[in-house]
Structure formats: C-alpha cells, structure tokens
Structure 1
C-alpha cells in the first residue's frame, strides 16, 4: 500500500470472472488531508487512482505498473468528512502483458465519483 493506512476494504466481491466490486472506507484522519487541503479536506485524485491499482493487483494477485490513463473524469469531490465510503466497480481485460480496466467509482448512494480507463503493465 503506497499510502499507509489510507483506506480499508469493507467488502469485495467478484461479479464475473473479469470484474469485481470493492467498497473501501477512506481514513479521514490520514495525514494526506493535512496538506490536501488544510481545513477543507479533499481526497486526492492520484490517491483514488492508486486505490484502483492496488485493488486490481489484489484481485489478480499480480504486480502492476501504470502505463496510461484515459477518459479520467472526477465527477464529484470526495470530502472525507462527508463521504468516507467509495465503491469501485472494475472490469478487467487482459491482453498479453497489459491489463486494461474500466472503472466506475461511486458513493454508497450511487452518486458517481470517478470514471476512467487505465492500462497497466504486468511486472
């Protein structure tokens, strides 16, 4: 985990062979929020992309390296004092040494937070 104790996994389930859904709880006391931003905490987008990487690595039991990200859309700001739970819906397509994913992240009530396509290289 790149950001030590930044989140905990609440639930995870495989939807099909190549897709899964994982709910995580962001730790609102994490030091990252002291600088991003003081008195107005916002979950960094790069931290959410890191969570996607780690969840995908865990699901595949494979170390991955970020190759590219496209169509990255942060749709709703994630204030850890208001919404600490995020639901990541990840669909995986493996293509040789590449792992391509489509992600839809939302709050528990279904409000969309992040949509993106990410390509990882297997290590």
Structure 2
C-alpha cells in the first residue's frame, strides 16, 4: 500500500465476475506521510482512505465486468460507516458485491474487515466512462497485473 500515491490495494485475492464479487487485501504501512498529520504521535488510517480502498475494490470488479474497456469513477456513497480504527501494520480485507448495473452507473456493497471484525462498510455508486486517453488503459492493466489480476481471470 502506497497511500500517498492512492495505490491502496496490495493484492486482489478473489475475482469472481460471474458472481459479481471481488476481495482484496492490503496492509497499512508502518510509516507514511499521511500519518504525519493524521495524527502526530497516534497514526490512524483516515476514514476517507478506507472509503478509497472500498472504491478501488469496486473499481476492479467493474473494470473486469467491462473487460477493462471502460473506466469506473466514484460517483457517490451511501450508508458509510466507519466502525473502528485501522492502525499501521494491520491487514485489511476488502469485499465488493455488485448490487445493480445499468445506464452507465453501478451500485456496489462494500466492506472492510480486520481480523474478521467489520471496521467499515458502504454502498458505492460508480459511473462508467470511456478512458480519457490511450495511455490510461495500459497503466490500469499494469497496476491490475501487479495486484494479481490476470487477464485470463476475466470472462
């Protein structure tokens, strides 16, 4: 996880397009410039970055469902709950399930667990758009490969 680069996910562990389900893992770094201000002497993963992890997990699901042909963008969140602190060194497991897909928008149900305990959940609305440049799909596919998503996993 490289927080300052919004490289939030370490690995995609489950990528089931048929069921509309993705699971990802990430370990919160022991040190990050983010923690210098959140909070000095008591580093806590910012809630907005927990939401971003859920967003990235949903993004992988939608990228796969669209064969990496369209780019998902965060459009909104409902029912967001941060239930517990996430601290450096902790391993987070993020899950995403498709609730609705249509009209260029998708709704997903997302959660993050640490040691089996629910620490955050939300319902996300994602907007699908064409890639704005020819370079971006190449970069997105490369990041997906680094996170364990192989093009053969996609049906």
Q: What TM-score comes out, normalization by structure 1 length?
A: 0.84
Confirm or deny that 1:66 pairs with 2:68: no
Which one has a larger percent strand, Structure 1 or Structure 2?
1
**Cα gap change, 1:19 to 1:98, in 2 (>3 Å):** same
**Cα gap change, 1:99 to 1:28, in 2 (>3 Å):** farther
Q: Secondary structure at the match of 2:44?
A: coil
Q: Secondary structure at the match of 2:4?
A: coil
Q: 1:34 aligns with which of 33, 36, 57?
A: 36
Q: Which residue of 2 aligns with 1:103?
A: 110
Gaps (5+ residues) in structure 1? none
**Cα gap change, 1:30 to 1:112, in 2 (>3 Å):** same
Q: What TM-score comes out, normalization by structure 2 length?
A: 0.68
**Cα gap change, 1:11 to 1:24, in 2 (>3 Å):** same
Q: Secondary structure at the match of 2:5?
A: coil
Range 34-43 or range 47-56, more displaced: 47-56
CA distance in 2, matches of 1:41, 1:56: 26
> CA offsets, 1:48-87, max 9 Å, x none?
1112222222333242222221111111111115xx2100
2:54–2:111 CA contact under 8 A, matched in 1: no
Q: Count residues with an aligned counterpart.
A: 120
CA distance in 2, matches of 1:5, 1:32: 11
Confirm or deny that 1:90 pairs with 2:96: yes
Q: Secondary structure at the match of 2:50?
A: helix
Who wins on radius of gyration, i.e. which is larger?
Answer: 2
Which one has a larger percent helix, Structure 1 or Structure 2?
2
Gaps (5+ residues) in structure 2? 64-69, 130-155
Q: Which residue of 2 aligns with 1:112?
A: 118
